[in-house]
């Protein structure tokens, strides 16, 4: 069986069109050139090359995926929809449902393929309708692809059993209804897309948490923190959405507001209009910001620092600030994202020792660290963990879309919600984010503002 499969594989390779071989050679050369260029640049030039290379890789993978999807869905269209009627009314003969369905499929694939270009064009204070449509379709595209792969795995695994082991009714059923299962994958993809759109076009959920602090003075009061992470101002998140988030956050009347990274997916020149409502965030203990990985991937981090400072938002660039609020001594610290070193931005890189350097043992110390894996680094270091009482993170988006939930559980030390490390007596809170990256699609209840009340232990 393996020999025959290998023979068919070699035959298919030998029959590959010459133009396709040339295209593959050109793409390979471009990929290698960009990979070399990325290693020899830093700063803004580096992140632009990273974005360009990422788009090229994504487009290459999507071309192969789109061919697969076209073959599968087109098979279902030809099977389920009537073919042209050679007789009868001329207008009805011209109106072929198969052609209409195929045209809609091509439009869907085309918009999905151009979605990433909207990080460069049609940018402004509010999302462009075409951009929103294309970015929504790319999420639908991902869901349909996953459902089609699942259907094919079931189909071919049962076929192997049917042909090589023993005949079974399961494969017979799957074979007879294959077109329906393919169309079901398409319908499910659109259902998940519309469900995700509902989540992102309604107000973020306010989630409350209560965390006891050993170092709080019983004579003092509670201290509240509003945690905003993964704001992702960009082609699908505009001024109206940001203004509503600011309104909801201020309505909580927090003592402190913490923005734990991934503020924007682009340059200040493109999104300053969308970001301006952030200047209206108000908290007596201050508003604080620490970088996420997207500050180094999608924009000029220095320009965003200037913008935030003009909004009276304190930048915690491997720094800390001592405050006293409601009779409680606190140290608000923030570290550059763990990705910063790889981004080759001069002067940036996660330095936890520097970020916590002047935080004292008699104060309650809060660390903003965008990625939960940075929190794990702190907890595994006995010297650092002694200086931290609460770590605030984001990054995971809770998976953002349901198929990706298992991946974030594998890739991150903490995923979502409140955690307690008994050994170090340190709390970690990971937000799923107030917004979303790219496609305006998210799991139900996935957009959240975290309202933490810190109180003294009884």
pLDDT tens-digit series, residues 240-267: 999 999 999 999 999 999 999 999 999 9
Query: What is the maximal distance between C-alpha atoms in the chain?
Result: 90
Residues lower than pLDDT 50 in the chain? 1-6, 9-10, 13, 16, 94
Which residue bears the tokens 């590959």? 16
- Report the alpha-carbon angle 410-413-416, nearest 5: 90
Helix (H) or strand (E) holding 223, with range, is strand 223-228
Domains and CATH numbers, the chain: 47-79+98-201 (no CATH), 206-456 (3.60.21.10)
167: Cα separation from own chain's centroid: 44
**pLDDT attached to residue 1:** 45
Q: Are strands 223-228 and 256-260 parallel, antiparallel or unpaired?
A: parallel
d(C-alpha 178, C-alpha 270), whole Å = 47
Q: Look at phi and psi of residue 445 and say left if phi exceeds 0, alpha if psi is from -120 to 50, else beta.
A: left
**pLDDT attached to residue 204:** 98
Rounded to 10 degrees, what is the CA torsion of 213, 218, 222, 225? -30
Structure tokens at 166: 């023993």
146-175 pLDDT, tens per residue?
A: 999 999 999 999 999 888 888 778 888 999
The CB density around residue 184, as the number of other CB atoms within 10 Å, is 15
**pLDDT attached to residue 168:** 77
Q: Look at phi and psi of residue 122 and say left if phi exceeds 0, alpha if psi is from -120 to 50, else beta.
A: left
SS3 content of the chain, % helix, strand, coil (to 5): 50, 15, 30
Which residue bears the tokens 């201050």? 286
């Amino acid at each position: 069986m393996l020999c025959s499969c290998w023979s068919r594989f070699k035959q298919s390779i030998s029959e590959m069109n010459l133009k396709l071989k040339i295209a593959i050679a050109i793409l390979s050369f471009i990929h290698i050139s960009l990979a070399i260029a990325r290693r020899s640049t830093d700063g803004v030039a580096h992140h632009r090359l990273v974005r360009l290379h990422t788009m090229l890789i994504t487009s290459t993978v999507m071309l192969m995926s789109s061919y697969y999807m076209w073959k599968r869905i087109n098979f279902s269209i030809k099977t389920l929809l009537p073919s042209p009627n050679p007789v009868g009314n001329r207008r009805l003969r011209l109106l072929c449902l198969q052609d209409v369905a195929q045209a809609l499929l091509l439009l869907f694939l085309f918009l999905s393929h151009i979605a990433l270009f909207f990080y460069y064009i049609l940018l402004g204070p509010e999302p462009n309708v075409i951009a929103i449509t294309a970015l929504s379709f790319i999420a639908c595209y991902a869901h349909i692809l996953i459902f089609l792969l699942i259907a094919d795995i079931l189909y071919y695994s049962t076929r192997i059993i049917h042909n090589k082991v023993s005949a079974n009714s399961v494969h017979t059923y799957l074979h007879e209804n294959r077109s329906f299962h393919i169309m079901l994958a398409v319908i499910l993809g659109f259902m998940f897309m519309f469900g995700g759109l509902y989540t992102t076009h309604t107000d973020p959920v306010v989630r409350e948490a209560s965390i006891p602090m050993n170092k709080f003075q019983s004579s003092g009061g509670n201290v509240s923190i509003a945690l905003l992470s993964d704001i992702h101002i960009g082609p699908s998140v505009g001024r109206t959405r940001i203004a509503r988030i600011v309104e909801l956050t201020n309505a909580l009347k927090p003592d402190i507001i913490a923005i734990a990274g991934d503020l924007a997916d682009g340059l200040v020149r493109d999104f300053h209009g969308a970001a301006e409502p952030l200047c209206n965030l108000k908290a007596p203990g201050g508003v604080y910001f620490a970088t996420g990985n997207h500050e180094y991937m999608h924009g000029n981090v220095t320009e965003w620092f200037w913008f935030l400072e003009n909004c009276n938002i304190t930048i915690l660039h491997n720094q800390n600030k001592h405050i006293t609020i409601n009779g409680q001594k606190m140290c608000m610290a923030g570290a550059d994202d763990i990705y910063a070193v790889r981004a080759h931005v001069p002067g940036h890189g996660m330095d936890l020792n520097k970020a916590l350097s002047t935080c004292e043992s008699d104060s309650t110390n809060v660390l903003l660290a965008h990625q939960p894996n940075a929190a794990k680094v702190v907890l595994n270091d006995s010297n650092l963990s002694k200086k931290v009482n609460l770590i605030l993170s984001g990054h995971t988006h809770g998976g953002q879309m349901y198929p990706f939930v298992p991946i974030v559980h594998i890739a991150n030390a903490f995923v979502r919600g409140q955690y307690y490390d008994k050994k170090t007596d340190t709390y970690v809170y990971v937000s799923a984010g107030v917004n979303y990256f790219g496609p305006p699609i998210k799991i139900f209840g996935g957009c959240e503002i975290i309202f933490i009340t810190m109180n003294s232990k009884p």
